[in-house]
Structure 1
Amino acid sequence: MASNLSTSTNGRGAASGIVTMMQAVAAAATSATSSSAAPGTAANIAMQAQLEANVRVAQDFQELQRRAHELFTGLKDLPTTVSPKIWKPYFNRTFSVFTKLWKFQQANRAALELEDCYGLKRHEVGEIASKIGQLYYHYYLRTADTGHLLEAYTFYEAILDRHYFDDVMDTKIAYVAAKRLRYCARFMIVCMLLNRLDRVQVLVVEMKKLVDQFAKELDPDDKEGWRKTYRDMAMFVEALNDLPTDDQGRLCAIQPRAASHDIRSGKTMVHDVIIASCWPNQPRFSDLSIDMFRFLQLLEREPVKPQPEQDDSDAPRKFLLNCPSASQIIHHLGSSLRETSSSQFLLFYYSGPGRLTGAPASGSTASVPPSEAAMLGGLDTRPPADDHVHRLHPYDLIPFTRKPFFCVLDSPAAPLFRKTPNLYAGTPFLFLCSPQEYPPSISGHAGTASLFTAFLFHPAVGIASVCRLERVAASGWAAAIEQAKDWEAAVVRYLQEHPLTPAFLHGILTDELLARLVARFVVCRVVLTHHTIVQKTDDLSDTLWTDLEVLSTEHLALTLGQLGCQDHFR
């Protein structure tokens, strides 16, 4: 799919148009010279001047296009782990050139649209706007500033409203027609990240129609690739909409993001977030799995338009790793550790398969004691096998606890990491681990989404998944959302006041983002230990204090009553 979503770099016949126009200029000059005494001399001179002006316009436009293309292509060569001191100036130069290109085509549209000048088509204007949208999107990926994601949406929406790509299928040229498909796919990603699900539904229908038309009328070589892109898109949206419906048959709304905040007082202690998913069968779209999407959403705030004086350095950077190798995870963790100060946290989220025990390295015949076999277990970044090159062991993460480290593991092997030793006294770290096992009737790591991550995304979604709720009254769902919010706040307050709360956890709970993760972890543990088909066992999930269960009893009862699923719990 990556090739289908890449930027088109195909050329066009503008150079030949300029040559033709230059020939016309020469002809006009010859005509003006040979008929200097004729009544039409002034008209010929004016025509020559206009043609020369059009030549300059076309040449200047092509030069801006060339510079913009070079800078845009160069962005692909900038590693995601490179320092902002390197990539920000490059982004600024690229934005500057694209701004000049956009304004230039606006000011000279009439001349550029002339066939004997440049022959500018509407889809080419749309391509410029689409690349500007991509710039804003990639800037968001590097800064996590949702304001720039909103800017990307603005450009993509303008392309749709102004029908820039409506005529591309009429060209009967496959690479030109594919521009609309790429635009549609990119727009959908931005809409999903902004939670504009109504627009997402429209784009899925539009994509199906376009892909069918593309394959039928043009029969391109990459038609199967685009069909797969559509299938991935449709499966992802279906998994995204795996929520109950209300009494009117509408999908129950969920808003995982926090409200927008004052940028002067809303800084988080989290510097970088590494988000990795290695489940091979989870629905994915544009290298984003359902679990990655949900975890990314709970880290976000409601977007606001970026202000010129706004500093986006308070937002934690996020690195999305789709099916990475163990070495790639370690590389990104190491790069982020270098950029993280001793007063900031590095947050690592992993969702994927794993094994609680392991065998010796391939080729070894030595027997392994049970304690050592456990140490050979870990997170499998590739299909499960006793190949330690692709397994992330508990001791692989110890070096990253040199600085404050917050780790969320959603994997069958997560319990192995609970007792990670604290080798660096005074440096806080915390591991939130998913349950070791789920009953057969509860798919903890299903092919669509993981249950533990569903609870972190929002407790109401987790409860709905456990109880397999299909329909909930709209008023009950809204009340459950508010009750879950109160529950989380009560958990945080209780931990802050509890005499046994470790000092490092007090620091964690002052950060809104980390406190929300801790609270939802506790809610998940309480819900699962009270479910009728779950055995109450210490192996089910970590708990910081058993007193939290007493605190949560009333909140759990109220939430279940609002959702109408009390019968599923004891």
Structure 2
Amino acid sequence: MGEKNGVVLRTFRALVEGADRKFARVRDVPAYGHVTSQQYFHKVFKAYTKLWKYQQDHRSELVESGLHRWEIGEIASRIGQLYFGQYMRTSEARFLVEAYVFYEAILNRRYFEGSKGFGKDLGVRFKELRFYARFLLVSLILNRTEMVKGLTDLFKALVDESKACFRETNFKEWKQVVQEIVRFMKVDTAFMNVRPLRYCAMFDSHQASLPYVARFHAKKVLKFRDALLTSYHRNEVKFAELTLDTFRMLQCLEWEPSGSFYQKQLVESNGNGVSTDHSGASGLIDINLAADMTDPTLPPNPRKAILYRPSVTHLIAVMATICEELPPDSVMLVYLSASGNAGRSNVSQMEGFQKSSKNKVSSQFSQEQSSSISESSSNDRGESTGYYDSYLWFGSRGNSVSNNLYPGDIIPFTRRPLFLIIDSDNSHAFKAGFAWCREGRDSCSTPFTYEAGIQEFI
């Protein structure tokens, strides 16, 4: 029996190592743009499917060989992380619900409970802390308010206990994470008792009526497939890399499931002869879930690239990637939330920007920019409307022009249908017909006043 258990344990360890290697290859893949390694995602899910089934079939032998419960919890946590990553790449709610199912199972079955107490493994404690942080993020996006409150209390207690148990270790960063979720929930409390931010059939027009509305707005009907959401403010409310502004926009760009989506039941053995019900998802580790996991009454959610405090060059690069891969019959939504500056830039900034511009653009475009500066004037409120005074600020400190996003930076992307939302105190600078947009240039005026009926605009 001992030899058999040894073989089972070695096989299990080999499966864990193989799955972890595959997981490492897809963990940092960007959540935007065409993923060339999409086929590899299937291999990762297949590896964890095999691993999860093996530990279920040989649970008793593995426990006898010294398998710890937290190791099972770590596998389930990785699976939840994979599902959440797929949700961020595809915006399909079924993946988000699957992540919630695995995280909830870890919590209910107390897989990490054995890591508590003095003299325990610090590495295991960090795994448990990361689990709570990830579960909080998933619950937050799913609007499971009561679960978020309960997890916050447990998370705070765990951080306090960790500081007492591991006095040589600095848990300052984890304490900051606790402060972030507490602050986030406090600010967002005003929205908890009102209608959901997601589009809901109970409050909004049914999606079947949208084609009839669209035909009154445009000759060409476009589909809403991709969105880019980002915000950059000093000391902004956030949790992890999800700011309050992008969180609310994310909610607004998704359908609220009608109810049938969450009614699927699962009965799964927990390894101790006790059956546990899970509602909301299959609990099976399979990227190709059954068709009934997707609500057939609702159109698909648009894919959303969420950028946390990006540089201007990174933001433009992501916009270019999404725009390049946008289907011909589609429209892209861009939401930018950042501070603006209505004051004029100093001379050194102007000279530095003009010098760099000469190396990047043609002389004709440089002359047009210089002409637009000379045409700058004040608006009704007495604010300057020059080209170099009209921008969004994507920087943590200093006044470097490399942190400025100008209206002209967005013009190349207006060659494709674009729905632009500027959430800023300087949003008027991006209005069509402003001083930076010279009269007679169709490429400036037309795209920003473009109206399109969006067939699946949710």
Alignment of 1:365-444 (within 5 A): 369=374, 371=376, 374-376=386-388, 377-383=390-396, 385-419=398-432, 429-430=447-448
Quick check: 1:272–1:346 contact (8 Å CA) kept in 2?
yes
Equivalences for residues 24-103 of structure 1 within 5 A? 50-84=1-35, 86-103=36-53
* 1:193–1:423 distance in 2 versus 1, CA, 3 Å: farther
- The alignment-based identity, stated in percent, is 31
SS in 1 for 2:304: strand
Change (3 A) 1:206 1:427: same
2:340 and 2:393 in contact (8 A); partners too: yes
State the one-letter code of the partner of 1:166: E
Residue 235 of structure 1 aligns with which residue? 183
More relative contact order, 1 or 2 (CA 8 Å, 6+ apart): 2
Deviation at 1:219, TM superposition (A): 1.9
Q: CA offset at residue 187 of structure 1?
A: 0.7
Q: Aligned partner of 2:3: which letter?
A: E
**CA 1:133–1:228 in structure 2 vs 1: closer, same or farther (change >3 Å)?**
same
1:150-549 to structure 2, matched below 5 A, reads: 150-170=97-117, 172-243=120-191, 252-259=193-200, 269-303=223-257, 304=261, 307-309=289-291, 314-359=300-345, 360=347, 362=349, 364=351, 369=374, 371=376, 374-376=386-388, 377-383=390-396, 385-419=398-432, 429-430=447-448, 505=451, 507-508=453-454, 510-513=455-458
Q: Helix, strand or coil: the match of 1:282?
A: coil
Contact preservation (8 Å) 1:283, 1:289: yes
Instruction: Kindly indicate whether the alpha-carbon contact (under 8 Å) linking 1:349 and 1:407 is maintained by their aligned counterparts in 2.
Output: yes
Alpha-carbon offset, residue 57 of structure 1: 1.1
In 2, the alpha carbon distance for the partners of 1:424 and 1:405 equals: 15
Offset from partner CA, 1:149-184 (integer Å, 9 cap, x none): 011111111111111112211362221122221111
SS state at 2:228 partner:
strand
User: Aligned partners of 1:96, 1:106: CA distance in 2, in Å?
Assistant: 15
1:8-40 per-position Cα deviation (integer Å, ceiling 9, x unaligned): xxxxxxxxxxxxxxxxxxxxxxxxxxxxxxxxx
Contact 2:323 2:413 in 1 (8 A): yes
Instruction: With the length of structure 2 as denominator, give the TM-score of the two structures.
Output: 0.76
Displacement of 1:426: 12
Q: Which runs of 5+ in 1 are unaligned?
A: 1-49, 244-250, 432-503, 514-570
CA distance in 2, matches of 1:336, 1:229: 31
Q: How far apart are residue 429 of structure 1 and its match?
A: 3.9
Shift of 1:428: 7.2
Gaps of 5+ in 2: 212-221, 262-280, 282-287, 355-369, 378-384
What SS does the aligned partner of 1:104 have?
Answer: helix
> Aligned partners of 2:301, 2:447: CA distance in 1, in Å?
20
- The AA in structure 2 aligned to 1:302 is E
The offset of 1:81, in angstroms, is 3.4
Distance 1:214 1:333, change over 3 A: same
Structure ID, larger Rg: 1
Shift of 1:397: 0.1
Q: Secondary structure at the match of 1:401?
A: helix
What is the Cα deviation at residue 356 of structure 1?
2.8
On the 8 A contact 1:61/1:105 being kept in 2, the answer is yes
| Contact 2:163-2:169 at 8 Å conserved across structures | no
Alignment partner, residue 123 of structure 1: 70
- Structure with more helix by fraction: 1
Question: Is the 1:278–1:382 Cα contact (8 Å) retained in structure 2?
Answer: yes
Q: Which residue identity lines up with residue 259 of structure 1 in the other structure?
A: C
Q: 1:255 to 1:164 in 2, by over 3 A?
A: same
Give 1:430 deviation, angstroms. 4.3
Looking at structure 2, the residues matched to 122 and 225 of structure 1 have their Cα atoms a distance apart, in angstroms, of 26
Matches of 1:361 and 1:99, distance apart in 2: 59
Q: Distance in 2 between matches of 1:292 and 1:220?
A: 37
Distance 1:361 1:146, change over 3 A: farther
1:92 aligned partner, one-letter code = H
- SS of the equivalent of 1:505 reads coil
Deviates more, 1:342-351 or 1:306-315: 306-315
Q: Take 2:398 and 2:323, find their aligned partners in 1: how far apart are those partners?
A: 29
Once residues 428 and 59 of structure 1 are traced to their aligned partners in structure 2, the CA distance between those partners, rounded to angstroms, is 65
TM-score scaled by structure 1? 0.61
Structure with more of its chain in strand, by fraction:
2
Amino acid at match of 1:210: L
1:229 deviation in Å?
1.2
Which residue number corresponds to residue 149 of structure 1?
A: 96
- In structure 2, the CA distance between the partners of 1:83 and 1:424, relative to structure 1 (3 Å rule), is farther
Look up the match of 2:363.
none
The alignment's C-alpha RMSD in Å is 3.1
Do the aligned partners of residues 133 and 266 (structure 1) sit closer, same or farther apart at CA in structure 2, a change above 3 Å counting? farther
Conserved? CA contact 1:146–1:302, under 8 Å: no
CA distance, structure 1, for counterparts of residue 9 and residue 441 of structure 2:
65
Does the residue aligned with 1:294 lie in a helix, a strand or coil? helix
Note if contact 1:361-1:387 (Cα within 8 Å) is conserved in structure 2. no
Alpha-carbon distance in structure 1 between the residues aligned to 2:251 and 2:157? 29
Q: CA deviation at 1:354?
A: 1.2
